[in-house]
Structure formats: structure tokens, C-alpha cells
Amino acid sequence: MKNVAVVGAVGYVGTQIARAVAACGRYNLIPVLRNDPHRDLLAKAQIVVYAANPARRFQAEKDPMRDFKETVEKTAGFLALSGGKRFVLVSTLSCRTQLNTNYGRNRRACELIALEDSALVIRLGPMYGGNRTDDTLHRILAGLEVFVAVQTRYAYVDVAWAGQKIAELLEGPGGIREIGARNAVCLGDLRDHFASASTFSGIDDTQIPEGFNDGPDARDIFRFAEQEKGKACT
């Protein structure tokens, strides 16, 4: 079996990728964390999955140079350490939809660096599940301000599904793949369904994958949100 190194194996998405890789029976998992001996661990792998880029948009805009170092420079460094092995970069739809932001530009730079080495780039959109409680969905449930336009539409998927799908694609063709739900949910509909007092301000941040039609139903987020709201009430 091939060894798969997952860089960022305890992160939001990385945790789910690591679980899926370990459970599938086709690979041996090598988790790679921040303080590990990166060169030694990557030397044992045939496939390197890089899932360590931070997802904080606000921080990227507040401190673009720090974000550049944490994303572009580190992606380039791990690509070099991989030494020409199969490299899979976990990226974001913001590389297509938010190129007017530091967040989108820096992550697009990561993609371009990886693609020069024939990597597979997998773009993800908004997700739910896992241990995340500080996101747009939870702000709506709490009646807090949301910093995108009310008409924004997201092709929401469970992060566990995303991890499983990435594990299935590890040895597919290189290039860019966008994955997500087969449909999308409007944030205004989420607000209305939960009678939320949230106000919305900012751009239309609609994120829907292109060229991918076999994902789950984005409306599953309503069931998940009901569960989250129930937790908050207990």
C-alpha cells in the first residue's frame, strides 16, 4: 500500500482527510503536524496531501504579509520537500471568486506554484460539521451580523464528506477540481427559516463548484443547523 502524508492532519479539513485515508484500506496514513520532522516524514510518502493553509479571511486582510508567509511560502516549502512526489493541494473556491482579496490572491498563488509541479488542486467551498462553531452558519443561528450579502448562495457540504471525497481523488489526474454540493442554499433562506435577527453586509460571496454535479444536497445543512440550534438551547 502507498503511504499518504497528510500535512495539517489535525486541522478542520485535514482531520477528515486523515480519517478517510486511514479507513479506506488502500493507504497507510502518515499524519504530519506543525512540529514534526517534516523532511523525514515526507521522505516515507508516495503521496503528499497539503491541507495546512489557514482559512481565516479576516486575518488575511488584516495582515497580508503574515498570510503570505503562512500560505504561499509554506506551500512552496512543502512542495520542495516532497521532491517531485504526487502532491495534492487542498484549496478553496475563493481562488476563483475572491481574487480581489488578499485571501483569494494568496491561495491562488499557492495553486499556481503547485500546478507547475503537476499537482492535483482540490477546491472546496463552505462546509459544516466537525468542531467548527465560528462561521457564517453559527452567526446566523446566534442572530449576529454576517459579513456577506444576504443573497449569497453556498453549495454547503459536510466536512466529513469533503474528506472522504478528497481521499477518493488522490490518484486522479492533476489540475484543478472543484467539489461541493449539487445545489446551493441562500443565506437569506437560512435566516428566514430560523427567524434569525442577523443583518448582512458585504459582497455577494456565492460559491458554487464548476464542473461537479454529483455532490450531496446542500439543503442537508438545515438538518444540521437544527441540531446545532438544539445544542445551544440545552
Per-residue pLDDT of the chain (234 residues; tens, 9 = 90+): 999 999 999 999 999 999 999 999 999 999 999 999 999 999 999 999 999 999 888 888 899 999 999 999 999 999 999 999 999 999 999 999 999 999 999 999 999 999 999 999 999 999 999 988 889 999 999 999 999 999 999 999 999 999 999 999 999 999 999 999 999 999 999 999 999 999 999 999 999 999 998 999 999 999 999 999 877 655
Give kind and range of the element (H or E) at residue 191: helix 187-193
Q: What's the residue count for the chain?
A: 234
Q: What is the pLDDT of residue 230?
A: 77
Residue 133's identity, in one-letter code, is T
Distance CA(203)–CA(188), nearest Å, equals 14
pTM of the model: 0.95
Distance CA(105)–CA(96), nearest Å, equals 9
* Residues 200, 187 contacting (CB under 8 angstroms): yes
Distance CA(76)–CA(92), nearest Å, equals 17
Local structure of 128: helix, strand or coil: strand
* Residues 86, 48 contacting (CB under 8 angstroms): yes
Positions of E strands within the chain: 2-7, 27-32, 47-50, 86-92, 120-124, 127-128, 153-154, 157-158, 175-179, 185-186
Distance CA(124)–CA(127), nearest Å, equals 8
- Identify the bridge partners of residue 72 per DSSP, sorted by sequence position: none
What is the number of other CB atoms lying within 10 angstroms of the CB of residue 65?
A: 9
Local structure of 146: helix, strand or coil: strand
Local structure of 5: helix, strand or coil: strand
What is the number of other CB atoms lying within 10 angstroms of the CB of residue 177?
A: 21
Cα-based angle 179, 120, 76 (whole degrees, multiple of 5): 120
- Residue 71: all three cell numbers together: 500560505
